[in-house]
Amino acid sequence: MKQPDLSIRLGPLNLQNPVMTASGTFGYGPEYHRLYDVNLLGGIVTKSITLKPRPGNPAPRIYETPSGMLNSIGLQNVGVEAFVKTKLPFLRGLRGPKVIVSLAGESVSEYVALARRLDGEKGIDGFELNISCPNCEQGGMEFGVDPRGTARLVKAVAAATRRPLIVKLSPNVTDVVAIARAAAGAGAQILSLINTLVGLAVDPARWKPRIATVTGGLSGPAIRPVALRMVWQVHRALPKIPLIGIGGILTAADAVEFMLCGASAFQVGTANYVNPQAPVEILQGLRTYLTERKLVSAKKLVGGLKVPRVLRGIPKVVAG
């Protein structure tokens, strides 16, 4: 039988397959290229870049929790100038994956300056606006929990770049659809969701938080049902906007769940720490899943979830 077609259209981007790696879990690419050919991937999202280098938050800043992980890295990164000089050349040399640079800032003007600075650089296929980092005193999630703040930021960045714009949504909101609508209305061509859920872990022996900043962002399989619910909700409300699903994907079956809920592509994050080969294993698993079911294309999965026509008993905020 012919191999299934894994290519995916993500708004203005054509991906060779839907497997992407999530920002902050994949360095800038070369770290994993030592382990396998990252040209196999559909997309790579860099660690969030800021205008100036950031040392990040004090340690401890990672803690393993049941089926998950708390982090409070604090957007540690090399800053935009060092990124262009020392990290971008590797990414520019890749042949397969779309290269997405994640942008973060403390103010609208910082995000805009970053987008302007990187707009003319070769080797970048798009930006992912991080409006959902829960670990910074200023900026980050501040923009992503308020539809007006989201719209103001996205509009300003969209005007500063010709590159495709992905906006990464926070789950730490009561109405994710309102934020998604605001981002799409302001110029986001693609939405990715979800970033981490704010959490806290305690050491009962020392009566202290496990993370130096007290709270951190929870990721991993523990958050997958929340992420699936939000992807499904946003897809139902805004079926025309392409979505990238994120949240605890460890296997091809997990990835299929996201695609059935409406994601055209997905990002593998925390799994990279457990099994660095996870993205390529998921790619192979997805091929097998489609072949076994005689599905000719991965596109057939997108939004295929069979739900009862009458959604009795589902809270309005969820049912939309």
* Residue numbers 214-243 binding ligand SIN by CB under 6 A: 217
Cβ distance 17 to 42 under 8 Å? Answer: yes
Catalytic site includes residue 133: yes
CB of 140 to ligand SIN, least distance (A): 7
Q: Which of residues 160-199 bind ligand SIN (CB under 6 A)?
A: 195-196
Binding of residue 267 to ligand SIN (CB under 6 A): no
- Under the binding rule (CB under 6 A), the answer on residue 74 touching ligand SIN is yes
- Region from 70-78, 86-94, 265-273, 291-299 binding ligand SIN, contact rule CB under 6 A: 70-78
| Close Cβ partners of 317 (under 8 Å, ≥ 6 residues apart) | 174, 175
Rounded CA gap, 309 and 291, in Å? 29
Q: Which residues contact 92 (CB under 8 A, 6 or more apart)?
A: 99, 122, 123
Binding region for ligand SIN (CB under 6 A) out of 85-93, 128-136, 145-153, 279-287: 128-136
Q: How far is the CB of 280 from ligand SIN (least distance, A)?
A: 24
Task: Note whether 114 binds ligand SIN by CB under 6 A.
Answer: no
State the catalytic residue, choosing from 49, 133, 191, 197: 133
Do the strands 43-45 and 98-103 form a parallel or antiparallel pair, or are they unpaired? parallel
Q: CA 33, CA 37: separation in Å to the nearest integer?
A: 5
Distance CA 97, CA 294 (A): 26
Given a contact cutoff of 8 angstroms between Cβ atoms, the answer to whether 217 and 70 are in contact is yes
When asked if residue 50 is in the footprint of ligand SIN (CB under 6 A), the reply is no
* Residue 274 CB, nearest approach to ligand SIN (Å): 18
Binding window for ligand SIN (CB under 6 A); candidates: 32-40, 69-77, 147-155, 247-255: 69-77
Interface pick for ligand SIN out of 25, 72, 189, 192 (rule CB under 6 A): 72
Per-residue DSSP letters for 26-56? STTSHHHHTTS-GGGSSEEEPPPB-SS-B--
Per CB under 6 A, 101 contacts ligand SIN: no
Considering only 38, 78, 124, 133, the residue that binds ligand SIN (CB under 6 A) is: 133
Q: How far apart are CA 11 and CA 158, in angstroms?
A: 15
DSSP secondary structure code for residue 222 in this structure:
G
Number of residues near ligand SIN (by CB under 6 A): 13
By CB under 6 A, residue 24 contacts ligand SIN = yes
Output the smallest distance, CB 180 to ligand SIN, in A. Answer: 17
Question: Is 91 a residue that touches ligand SIN (CB under 6 A)?
Answer: no
Tell me the C-alpha distance between 85 and 280, whole Å. 28
Burial of 161 per CB tally in 10 Å (0-12, 13-18, 19+): buried
Between the CA of residue 215 and those of 119, 175, 219, what are the distances in Å? 34, 22, 13
Report the residue number, 135 or 233, with the smaller CB distance to ligand SIN: 135
Q: Other CB atoms closer than 10 Å to residue 259's CB: what's the count?
A: 25
CA-based Rg of the chain, rounded to a whole angstrom?
A: 19
Tell me: does residue 135 bind ligand SIN (CB under 6 A).
yes
Q: How far is the CB of 132 from ligand SIN (least distance, A)?
A: 6
Q: How far is the CB of 74 from ligand SIN (least distance, A)?
A: 5
Which residues are known catalytic residues? 133
By CB under 6 A, name the binding residues for ligand SIN.
Answer: 24, 71-75, 130, 132-133, 135, 195-196, 217
